[in-house]
C-alpha cells in the first residue's frame, strides 16, 4: 500500500514518526542517510573544458595547422612574413575562443540571477516544538507546517488540512488549483492523489500539516530532474554541423590546391623546398582566417538583438538554430496563457453574457446585485504586497472573482462576516455568512452539480422564481456549454438565513443567482504570433498537462486549431502508441497533446527529431525540463520558470512571452542569411589572393601580393565589412518563407560558384591589372625579377592590394542580397555598413600612405591613377553583378508564371 492510500496512523508508522515529529538526533541521522533536500543541477561541462572547447573545434584545428605551417615556412625561409602570419592566426584563435566563452559565461551569470530553486526555509515540528530550519535539512518523517502562499519544499502527505488548495502547474502543467485533504486516497497515480503535496508546487490557500515522505532526488521533482540529466542533448547544433562541414571543405580545398600547385611547381622546375614553401603559401592563403571571428561576432550580435527582444541566449549557436526551427512544441500554461484566472462568461437571468469590459459588468450588476455580492463576500483572498505592489493574494480563481466584483460594484459593500463553512474536496463549495441590512445572508459558490440540487429558486429577470425542472435543464445546458469550451464553471447562490436556523441547515433552500465560467486567458499577442508561425511554415504543437477540453478551447481561441476535428492525444492514449504510430500521428496538420507527463513530452520530441524536424520546445515547469534538454533548442520561461527548466534550456524568455519566440526566430533566420552573405564576401577575396601565387609560379613574374598583405585583407580591411553584413536586419518577407530544409548547406555549389568563379575572378582580374599597370608604366619588362625592397615592386604589390580592397568595397554592397539589386536596398538601414566602409577605407589609406603602414605591410604610396583604375573595375563588377541578378529575377518570375498561369497579366 502506498503512503497516500494509508490511514494517518499507518502513514506515521511507515516513516517511524508521529504528530510530534522527529527528535533532533533522529533527524540528523536521517539527513546523513538520505542526504540534503536538494536537486543536483543539470550537469554541464566543467568550466575549464568549456573554455578549451573554443580552441579545439574543427575550424580552430585548421587554423592551428595553418599557423604551424606558417611557422615552419618562416623557419625554413625567414623574412617572408610567414612568422607574422602564424602569430596573427594564433591571435585570431585565442581572441575568438575567449570571446565565445565570455558571451556564454555572461549569459550563465544572467541566468544565475534568476535562480530560486526551492524555498530556503521550512517550518517543521520536531520534538513537539515548531521551528524554522533550512529546507535542505528536511528529511523523511518530518512534519511540515504549511500556510497559504508557501512553496512546498518536499513530497509530503497531508495529516491536517483546512481549505487547502495547491497549484501543481510546475510539476503537472495543470493551470487550475486543486483541493487537497488529509483523507486516505484510492487514486493509483501519485501525481493526482487528493492528499499529497509535491515539491516545487505551492499552496494557494488554506493551511495544514504534512508528513514528509520523499526529499531531494527521491521526490517527484528530483525524479524529473534526473530524467533531465539522462536526456541526451545534441552534441552539435545545425549551424555547428554546417561550420564543421564548411571547415572540412575549406581544408580539403586548401590542401588540394596546395598539392596541385606543388606538382605544377615541380613541372616548371622549382626546387623541392621552394616548391614546398610555395605550396604552404597557397594552403594558408586559402584558409579564410577571418571567417571564425566573423561567425562568432555575428552570432554574438544576433544574441544581443534577441536580448533586446527579451530572449536570453545561453549558447551562441542557439541563435541560428532557432531560425532553422520547423516545429515548436509549446506548453500552454504560462506560455500561451497568462497563468492567471479570469472571468470569461456569465450566465445570468437565462442569458449568456461574454465579459468584455467593466462598463458591461456595472450594467449587469444593476440587475443582478446578489450575484456580484457573492463574488465579493464568498472568498478567502487577502490584500498584500507582491513584487513591491499592492495585490490580492490567494487562490487565482477567487482573485479573478473578487476583481470582477470590484469592477462591477464601484462602492463595494462592507458587511461583517459572521461565519464560514470552508471549502473542501468532499463539499466542493464555500459559504460565508454576512451581516447585512436585511439580516444574516449566506453567500455560496461551488460546483454546479453540488449547488443546483440545494436551490429551490432561481434569479430570472431580477426576481426569484421557482426553480422548476425546465429552469434546471436550462442551467445544466448552460453549464455543459461552458464546460465544453474548457471553462471552469461555478454556481453562485444565496439565502437570507432566518433567526434560529441551525448551522447544518444554512445551505438549504437557496436562490440560484447564476453561473460563472473562468479560464486562464490567452496572452493577447499569441494569436498574431501563431499566424506568423503558420506563414513561416513552422508547425506549432501544444503539449500540456492540462485537461483536453481546456487545451482544445484555448487552442481554438488563439488560432492554433482551426479545423473541426483536430487530433487530440491524451497521455493515456500516447502510452498505447508505438513509436511508429506516434510518428505517423505527428503528420496531422493540427494536433495537441493533453494530460501528458515529463517522460511523454520527451518521447514526443524524440519522435519529431526522428522525422528530421528541427524542434524547439518551450516550458516553465520541472515537468518540461527533460523535453527542453532533448530538443534542438529548449526555451524556458525567465519569470515563471523553475531553475531546472532554465538550466536545461538553450534560451530563456525574459518576458515569458510566446511572441518573443517568433521575434527570435526571425532574428535566427537573419543570422543564417547574414552568415551566407559574409561567407560570400570573405571567400571572394580568396581568389585574388590565390591568383598572384599561381601567376608567380606559372609565368615567372614577381609575386604580385605578399603574405603580409594577404593578412592585411583577411584580418584587416575585410573584418569590419564582413561584420557589417552579419548585422543586416531580417529581410522583408523572411517570415513568409518556409524553414530551410535540413539538407540545405551553408556553403553550397551556387555560393561557391558565385564567390570563386564569378566575383573572385573579376576581383583577381582587377588586382592583376593594377599590378601590371604600375610595372608597365615604369618600364618593367617580362622576365625581369624585382628585389623585395625595390620601390617599383613595393608600389606594384600595393596597387594589387588596393585594387582588391576597392573591389571588396563594391562587393560589400553586392553581397547584401543574392538576387535583389544593391540600388534597391536602403543604405541607412544598417548603420554599421557605413562605419565599416569608413574603417576599411581608412585602413587601406593608412597602409598605403603612412610610414608605419609602409614598414609593417611592405607597401609604398601609389598615384591617383591606380585608384581610378581600381574604381572603374569595381563599377564594372557591380554592373555585371546587377545584370546577373536581373537575369535571376527574370528567370524566377518566368518560372513562377509557368507554374501559375492565372497570375499572368492580361
For 335, residues 6+ apart whose C-beta sits below 8 A from its C-beta are: 618, 619, 620, 637, 656, 658
* 439 φψ region: left (φ > 0), alpha (ψ -120 to 50), beta (else): left
Distance from C-alpha of 715 to C-alpha of 634, rounded to nearest angstrom: 35
Distance from C-alpha of 764 to C-alpha of 691, rounded to nearest angstrom: 6
Instruction: Evaluate whether 551 touches 592 at the Cβ level (below 8 Å).
Output: yes
Of 159, 136, 123, nearest in space to 31 by CA: 136
Cell of 734: 523572411
Of 528, 850, 527, nearest in space to 712 by CA: 850
Instruction: Evaluate whether 667 touches 306 at the Cβ level (below 8 Å).
Output: yes
Distance from C-alpha of 294 to C-alpha of 96, rounded to nearest angstrom: 9
Q: DSSP letters of 299-354?
A: HHHHHHHHHHTTEEESSTTHHHHHHT--EEEE-STTTTB-SS-EEEEEEETTEEEE
The pairing of strands 488-496 and 591-594 is: unpaired
Distance from C-alpha of 224 to C-alpha of 647, rounded to nearest angstrom: 13
Q: DSSP letters of 463-480?
A: EEEE--HHHHHHHHHHHH
First to last CA, the chain: 80
Sheet holding 311-313, edge to edge: 311-313, 651-653, 633-637, 615-619, 327-330, 539-543, 591-594, 567-570
Helix (H) or strand (E) holding 550: helix 548-558
Instruction: Evaluate whether 518 touches 487 at the Cβ level (below 8 Å).
Output: yes
CA distances to 4, 226, 331, 623, 653 from 598, in Å: 21, 11, 12, 5, 21
The question of whether 331 is a catalytic residue gets the answer yes
Q: State the residue for C-alpha cell 581608412.
A: 842
As a dihedral over the C-alpha atoms of residue 481, residue 484, residue 488, residue 493, rounded to 10 degrees, the angle is: 20
For 416, residues 6+ apart whose C-beta sits below 8 A from its C-beta are: 434, 435
3-state secondary structure of 853: helix
Distance from C-alpha of 374 to C-alpha of 371, rounded to nearest angstrom: 5
Beta bridge partners of 434: 417, 441
Q: State the residue for C-alpha cell 446585485.
A: 369
CA angle at residue 188 from 339 to 582, to 5 degrees? 65
The pairing of strands 539-543 and 591-594 is: parallel
Helix (H) or strand (E) holding 637: strand 633-637
The pairing of strands 178-180 and 155-167 is: antiparallel
- The alpha-helical segments, DSSP class H, found in 858-899 are 864-899
The pairing of strands 327-330 and 615-619 is: parallel
From 331, 520, 620, 656, the catalytic residue: 331
- The alpha-helical segments, DSSP class H, found in 559-685 are 571-576, 579-585, 598-610, 625-630, 643-648, 658-684
**3-state secondary structure string, 278-298?**
HHHHHHHHCCCCCHHHHHHHH
3-state secondary structure of 782: coil
* Catalytic residue positions, numbered: 331
Amino acid at each position: 500500500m502506498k503512503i497516500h492510500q494509508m490511514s494517518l496512523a499507518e502513514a506515521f508508522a511507515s516513516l517511524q514518526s508521529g504528530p510530534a515529529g522527529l527528535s533532533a538526533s533522529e533527524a540528523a541521522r536521517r539527513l546523513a542517510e538520505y542526504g540534503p533536500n536538494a536537486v543536483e543541477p543539470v550537469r554541464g561541462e566543467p568550466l575549464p573544458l568549456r573554455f578549451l572547447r573554443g580552441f579545439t573545434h574543427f575550424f580552430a584545428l585548421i587554423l592551428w595547422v595553418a599557423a604551424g605551417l606558417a611557422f615552419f615556412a618562416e623557419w625554413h625561409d625567414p623574412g617572408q612574413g610567414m612568422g607574422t602570419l602564424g602569430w596573427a592566426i594564433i591571435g585570431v584563435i585565442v581572441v575568438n575562443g575567449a570571446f565565445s566563452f565570455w558571451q556564454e559565461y555572461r549569459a550563465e551569470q544572467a541566468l544565475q540571477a534568476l535562480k530560486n530553486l526551492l524555498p530556503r526555509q521550512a517550518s517543521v515540528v520536531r520534538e513537539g516544538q515548531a521551528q524554522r530550519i533550512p529546507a535542505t535539512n528536511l528529511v523523511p518523517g518530518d512534519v511540515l507546517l504549511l500556510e497559504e502562499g508557501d512553496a512546498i519544499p518536499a513530497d509530503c502527505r497531508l495529516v491536517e488540512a483546512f481549505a487547502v488548495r495547491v497549484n501543481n502547474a510546475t510539476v503537472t502543467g495543470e493551470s487550475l488549483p486543486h483541493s487537497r485533504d488529509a483523507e486516505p486516497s484510492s487514486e493509483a497515480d501519485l501525481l493526482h492523489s487528493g492528499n499529497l503535496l509535491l515539491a516545487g508546487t505551492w499552496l494557494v490557500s488554506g493551511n495544514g500539516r504534512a508528513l514528509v515522505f520523499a526529499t531531494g532526488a527521491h521526490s517527484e521533482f528530483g525524479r524529473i530532474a534526473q530524467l533531465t540529466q539522462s536526456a541526451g542533448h545534441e552534441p552539435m547544433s545545425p549551424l555547428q554541423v554546417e561550420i564543421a562541414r564548411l571547415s572540412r571543405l575549406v581544408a580539403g580545398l586548401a590542401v588540394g590546391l596546395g598539392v596541385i600547385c606543388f606538382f605544377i611547381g615541380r613541372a616548371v622546375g622549382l626546387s623541392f623546398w621552394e616548391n614546398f614553401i610555395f605550396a604552404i603559401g597557397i594552403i594558408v592563403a586559402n584558409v579564410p582566417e577571418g571567417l571564425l571571428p566573423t561567425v562568432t561576432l555575428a552570432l554574438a550580435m544576433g544574441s544581443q538583438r534577441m536580448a533586446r527582444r527579451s530572449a536570453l541566449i545561453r549558447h551562441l549557436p542557439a541563435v541560428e538554430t532557432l531560425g532553422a526551427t520547423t516545429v515548436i512544441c509549446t506548453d500552454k500554461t504560462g506560455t500561451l496563457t497568462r497563468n492567471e484566472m479570469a472571468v470569461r462568461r456569465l450566465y445570468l437571468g437565462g442569458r449568456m453574457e461574454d465579459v468584455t469590459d467593466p462598463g458591461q459588468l456595472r450594467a449587469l450588476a444593476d440587475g443582478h446585485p446578489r450575484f456580484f455580492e457573492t463574488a465579493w463576500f464568498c472568498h478567502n483572498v487577502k490584500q498584500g504586497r507582491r513584487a513591491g505592489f499592492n495585490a490580492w493574494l490567494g487562490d487565482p480563481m477567487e482573485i479573478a472573482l473578487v476583481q470582477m466584483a470590484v469592477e462591477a460594484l464601484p462602492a463595494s459593500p462592507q458587511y461583517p462576516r459572521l461565519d464560514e463553512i470552508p471549502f473542501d474536496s468532499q463539499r466542493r463549495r464555500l459559504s460565508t455568512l454576512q451581516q447585512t441590512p436585511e439580516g444574516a445572508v449566506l453567500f455560496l459558490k461551488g460546483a454546479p452539480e453540488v449547488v443546483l440540487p440545494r436551490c429551490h429558486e432561481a434569479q430570472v429577470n431580477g426576481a426569484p422564481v421557482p426553480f422548476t425542472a425546465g429552469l434546471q435543464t436550462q442551467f445544466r445546458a448552460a453549464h455543459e456549454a461552458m464546460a465544453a469550451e474548457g471553462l471552469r464553471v461555478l454556481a453562485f447562490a444565496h439565502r437570507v438565513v432566518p433567526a434560529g436556523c441551525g448551522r447544518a441547515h444554512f445551505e438549504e433552500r437557496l436562490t440560484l443567482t447564476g453561473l460563472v465560467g473562468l479560464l486562464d486567458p490567452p496572452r493577447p499577442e499569441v494569436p498574431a504570433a501563431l499566424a506568423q508561425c503558420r506563414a513561416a511554415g513552422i508547425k506549432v504543437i501544444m503539449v500540456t498537462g492540462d485537461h483536453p477540453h481546456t487545451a482544445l478551447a484555448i487552442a481554438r481561441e488563439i488560432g492554433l486549431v482551426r479545423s473541426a476535428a483536430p487530433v487530440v492525444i491524451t497521455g493515456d492514449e500516447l502510452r498505447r502508441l508505438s513509436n511508429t504510430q506516434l510518428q505517423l500521428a505527428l503528420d496531422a496538420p493540427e494536433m495537441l497533446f493533453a494530460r501528458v507527463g515529463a517522460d511523454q513530452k520527451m518521447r514526443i520530441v524524440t519522435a519529431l527529431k526522428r522525422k528530421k524536424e528541427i524542434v524547439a520546445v518551450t516550458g516553465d515547469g520541472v515537468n518540461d525540463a527533460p523535453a527542453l534538454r532533448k530538443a534542438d533548442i529548449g526555451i524556458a520561461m525567465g519569470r515563471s520558470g523553475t531553475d531546472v527548466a532554465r538550466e536545461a534550456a538553450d534560451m530563456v524568455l525574459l518576458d515569458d512571452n510566446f511572441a518573443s519566440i517568433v521575434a527570435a526566430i526571425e532574428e535566427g533566420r537573419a543570422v543564417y542569411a547574414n552568415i551566407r552573405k559574409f561567407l560570400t564576401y570573405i571567400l571572394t577575396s580568396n581568389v585574388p589572393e590565390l591568383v598572384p601565387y599561381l601567376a608567380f609560379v606559372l609565368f615567372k613574374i614577381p609575386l604580385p601580393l605578399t603574405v603580409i598583405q594577404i593578412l592585411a585583407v583577411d584580418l584587416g580591411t575585410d573584418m569590419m565589412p564582413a561584420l557589417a553584413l552579419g548585422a543586416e536586419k531580417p529581410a522583408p518577407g523572411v517570415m513568409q518563407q518556409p524553414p530551410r530544409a535540413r539538407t540545405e548547406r551553408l556553403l553550397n555549389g551556387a555560393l561557391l560558384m558565385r564567390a570563386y568563379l564569378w566575383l573572385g575572378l573579376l576581383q583577381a582580374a582587377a588586382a592583376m591589372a593594377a599590378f601590371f599597370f604600375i610595372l608597365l608604366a615604369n618600364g618593367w619588362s617580362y622576365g625581369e625579377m624585382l628585389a623585395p625592397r625595390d620601390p617599383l615592386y613595393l608600389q606594384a604589390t600595393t596597387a594589387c592590394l588596393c585594387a582588391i580592397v576597392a573591389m571588396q568595397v563594391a562587393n560589400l554592397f553586392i553581397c547584401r542580397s543574392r538576387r535583389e539589386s544593391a540600388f534597391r536596398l536602403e543604405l541607412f538601414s544598417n548603420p554599421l555598413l557605413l562605419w565599416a566602409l569608413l574603417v576599411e577605407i581608412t585602413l587601406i589609406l593608412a597602409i598605403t600612405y603612412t610610414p608605419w603602414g609602409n614598414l609593417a605591410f611592405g607597401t609604398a604610396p601609389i598615384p591617383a591613377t591606380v585608384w581610378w583604375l581600381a574604381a572603374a573595375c569595381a563599377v564594372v563588377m557591380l554592373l555585371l553583378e546587377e545584370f546577373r541578378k536581373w537575369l535571376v529575377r527574370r528567370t524566377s518570375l518566368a518560372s513562377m508564371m509557368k507554374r501559375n498561369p492565372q497570375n499572368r497579366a492580361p
